Structure 1
Amino acid sequence: MKTKILVATLLAGLTSYSFAASNVTLYGQIDLGVVASKAKHKAATFEEKSGFVGMSRWGIKGSEDLGNGYSVGFTLEEGITADDGAVAAGSGAFTRESLLRVAGPFGQIAFGRMGALGFAQSTAILRGWAFGTSWGASAWDGSSSYGLHFGRLNNAVNYVTPSFGGLTIHAMYSNSIATDDSLNKWSNNDHYYGIGTKYTAHNVDASVIFEVRDNKHVITAVAPKQKAMYHVTVGGTFDFNVIKPGFIYQFATQDELYDQHAFGLSATAPLAGGSLKVGGKYIFRKYDGAYMTAHQAQNDKKANVWTLGVGYEYPLSKRTNLWSYAGYADGAKAWRDTSDVKFNGYQIGLGMLHKF
């Protein structure tokens, strides 16, 4: 009996040493709730929803100290829909993020699949919007209809400078945004270029981001050869310790297609042991030339939307939050036939998010 106890103790010690030496961590979160939604002129829906305030996910990350201030690390992350256990997006594993990074006195460089600078992954620097890219209708959304961010990028490289008193400079390039970069020659791929600065010091957390998608391979019936798409995004928060207000603005344009302005004012504040989020955003889009999207009625050349949202999180423990949300979006008549409540309708939700 004593021998068995000794062997078990030695094995446990060796296992602990192995994990400590490689510094590999299994992590993730499960977000599940019930959400009632109703788009104008459409039937109301009531569903169990996964990933409403934060996509359900699991991942593996690790790092190794190479000495002399250098290290190498990796992140492999996959999204799931917790209500049915399915993979959330894509057909393979680790479609949320899959990268290898090297850090040192020069800064940090990462290679692989990752979020664009204006998105919400580990390489992103979007600031100024309390709801980030989650929370239903209040999300700083990246849908094809409004495209407030470029989402995830394949075949990408990201560089971050060392911090200069809280200021860092970020640069990113993707050789082929959504396809295998070996399928076409370089000039026939969609490329992403991004550069930005982030400042985090003295209660300020802010960023300025310039991004381009050149649309080299896009060919459609309404636009035989699309022009490049440009985003300029400026946002930040100031923490007054009691309340943290934020502001975000974005100008997006694509020649011969559209010009778009998006504004957001939001704030977070402690309330009854939890955290309250409030925010309103306004999106103004004017279509250019003959281009009209399928959901536009009577050749409308403007498609404006304003959204108001209120969210609340209450911590049951260090790893588990209860959340609730109510949001309303009102779109111009161009959106009257859409079933997407991000543009025209309301949402009410209640759920729980657990991190591990």
Structure 2
Amino acid sequence: MRKMVLIAGMLSGIAGAAQAQSNVIIYGIVDLGLNFTNNAGGNRAYELQSGYPSGSRIGVKGKEDLGGGLSAVFQLENGFSADTGTLGQGGRLFGRQAFVGLSSNQLGRLTVGRQYDFVVDFLGPVTANGNWGGYLFSHPFDNDNTDNSFRINNAVKYTSVEYGGFKFGGMVGLGETAGAQRTNMTYSLGAQYLNGPWTVAAAYMSNTLPGASAAGSIAENDANFLAYQQRTAGAGINYTVGKATYGFAYSNTNFTNPLSSVYVGPITPASGSLKRLVFNNYELNAKYQLTPAFSLAAMYTFTQGKFNTSEANFKPKWHTLGLMADYALSKRTDVYAQAVYQQVAGSDTGSVLDRAYIPGASEVSSAARQGMLRLGLRHQF
């Protein structure tokens, strides 16, 4: 808690010094709720957990006009657990974001630091988990990072201005390993088109040896999967008509020589080594605003997997269904309820991948099915 008080003091000081220019903003979200997992290692689990639809955070961002349409920009964002007061993202002070850069009205924005890749920036917002649903609605093991399980360190990132609703960007996260520059290096590209009721997005990301070095683009205690390589590509679309928004998203994630997942630990099959792990995610989602204060939403994801080992091939399937109701008590405070169900079929690897696991559950299920309920309160400032 002393660390959180120190952070708040630092941010207040920064804001006070820049108040006259009105170019520094302090903001945050506190999201806390009660979770019920019907099968957590064969048992029921009740937990108070922080940050599921929205990660609990406090941040400061600023912009200074340098003249001629050019501005200096920065953002520092801390993630924390509201139930315990501890730091998130592996204990990092500004684990969610930490960057500085230049923004031009004509040329776009160039930033350097710890940042989101373009799967998170462009593809995530057309999925349920990257938009209104959050953690529980992630694709299995958040294999495509649409729920931002990790950020990119040492990132140089460019995002264009909008051209008739279209914008694009590119990023490189430096490996910073002398003599082996590709070790723990990340590349990401993305594009987005916004036009009236339509949102169309596509993104690509490639990580080589994520988590292999502390100094690289994805630190070991920040990586989702430890593997030789991870490649993710996807596209999606949202369409709004009246009070309803409908969406479809597809993503493909390909792992070479994967060893473990931050969510479920080692994923080595009972026999043979895992050479290749592929996830194809197909998601349908919808949200309906019944009243200005009350909304209902739903999603279904079908995930088709391919596991190639040194001795056999497997083709598991995941079915994930999620429902959410949200009621705004004010412009900044809402209460919500979420329900998620997952079933795994066609997997017989003898590993943890054969069992259901909803990201955010207390533990992996002891069976091929798992269900979760969450009741939460969220305040934004």
Q: 1:310 aligns with which of 286, 311, 323?
A: 323
Percent pairwise identity: 24
Measured in 2, the distance between the counterparts of 1:77 and 1:140 equals 25
Do the aligned residues in 1 keep the contact of 2:28 with 2:57 (CA within 8 Å)?
Answer: yes
Which residue does 1:329 correspond to in 2? 342
Which residue does 2:218 correspond to in 1? none
Do the aligned residues in 1 keep the contact of 2:356 with 2:370 (CA within 8 Å)?
Answer: no
Measured in 2, the distance between the counterparts of 1:70 and 1:142 equals 41
SS of the aligned residue for 1:127 comes to: helix
Measured in 2, the distance between the counterparts of 1:34 and 1:170 equals 38
Which residue does 1:138 correspond to in 2? 137
Q: Which amino acid aligns with 1:354?
A: H
SS of the aligned residue for 1:162 comes to: coil
Which residue does 1:262 correspond to in 2? 281
Measured in 1, the distance between the counterparts of 2:369 and 2:130 equals 20
Instruction: Compare CA radii of gyration and give the structure with the larger one.
Output: 1
Measured in 2, the distance between the counterparts of 1:308 and 1:283 equals 11
Do the aligned residues in 2 keep the contact of 1:188 with 1:217 (CA within 8 Å)?
Answer: no
Q: Which amino acid aligns with 1:314?
A: Y
Which residue does 1:294 correspond to in 2? none
Measured in 2, the distance between the counterparts of 1:243 and 1:278 equals 11
Which residue does 1:279 correspond to in 2? 299
1:222-237, aligned counterparts within 5 Å?
227-237=228-238
Which one is further off, 318-327 or 254-263?
Answer: 254-263
2:339 is equivalent to residue 345 of structure 1: no
Q: Which amino acid aligns with 2:301?
A: K
Q: Provide structure 2 residue ranges, at least 5 long, that are not aligned to the other structure.
A: 1-14, 214-225, 257-274, 348-352, 358-362
Q: Which amino acid aligns with 1:61?
A: K
Measured in 1, the distance between the counterparts of 2:156 and 2:33 equals 36
Ranges of 4+ aligned residues in structure 1 off by more than 6 Å: none
> Alignment RMSD, CA only?
2.7
Which one is further off, 87-96 or 322-331?
Answer: 87-96
Which residue does 1:58 correspond to in 2? 58
Q: Structure 1 length normalisation: TM-score?
A: 0.82
Q: CA deviation at 1:44?
A: 0.7
SS of the aligned residue for 1:239 comes to: strand
Give per-residue Cα distances to partners, 1:319-350, cap 9 Å, x unaligned: 10111111101113553386336984111111
1:73-92, aligned counterparts within 5 Å?
73-92=73-92
2:29 is equivalent to residue 25 of structure 1: no
Do the aligned residues in 2 keep the contact of 1:127 with 1:235 (CA within 8 Å)?
Answer: no
Q: CA deviation at 1:227?
A: 4.8
Which residue does 1:295 correspond to in 2? none
Structure 2 CA distance for partners of 1:322 and 1:305, relative to 1, 3 Å: same
Measured in 2, the distance between the counterparts of 1:97 and 1:106 equals 23
Q: 1:211 aligns with which of 187, 205, 223?
A: 205
Do the aligned residues in 1 keep the contact of 2:304 with 2:318 (CA within 8 Å)?
Answer: yes
Q: CA deviation at 1:148?
A: 4.4
Give per-residue Cα distances to partners, 1:167-187, cap 9 Å, x unaligned: 0111111113xxxx3x54442
Q: Which amino acid aligns with 1:318?
A: K
Structure 2 CA distance for partners of 1:324 and 1:80, relative to 1, 3 Å: same
Structure 2 CA distance for partners of 1:166 and 1:142, relative to 1, 3 Å: farther
Q: CA deviation at 1:216?
A: 7.8
Q: CA deviation at 1:18?
A: 4.2
Q: Which amino acid aligns with 1:129?
A: T
Structure 2 CA distance for partners of 1:98 and 1:315, relative to 1, 3 Å: same
